[in-house]
Amino acid sequence: MGSQRSALLYKKSLICGITAVLVVGLVTGLRGRPMIGDCRPHGQFTYFDAPAPVGTRLEAKIGGQIVADTVVTTAGQYAISIPPDNEQTTIKDGWATDDVITLWVGTHEAQQKFLAFEGSRPIDIVVSSMALDVRRSTWGKIKALFR
CA distances for 54 relative to 45, 73, 76, 106, angstroms: 11, 5, 8, 15
Res 4 pLDDT > 80: no
The pLDDT, as a whole number, for residue 132 is 47
Confidence class of residue 120 from pLDDT cuts 50, 70 and 90? very high
Q: Is the backbone of residue 144 left (phi > 0), alpha (psi -120 to 50) or beta? A: alpha
- Average pLDDT of every residue of the chain: 81
Which of helix, strand or coil describes residue 72?
Answer: coil
Mean pLDDT of 124-139: 68
Q: What is the enclosing helix (H) or strand (E) of 79?
A: strand 77-79
Rounded average pLDDT over 96-125? 96
C-beta of residue 91 within 8 angstroms of C-beta of residue 66: no
List pLDDT tens digits, range 39-63: 999 999 999 999 999 999 999 999 9
Please state, for a pLDDT cut of 90, what percent of the chain lies above it: 61
> Where is pLDDT greater, at 20 or 45?
45
Does position 131 have pLDDT exceeding 60, yes or no? no
CB neighbour burial string for 99-134, b if at least 16 within 10 angstroms, e if fewer? bebbbbbeeebbeeebebbeeeeebebbbeeeeeee
What does the pLDDT average to over 18-39? 59
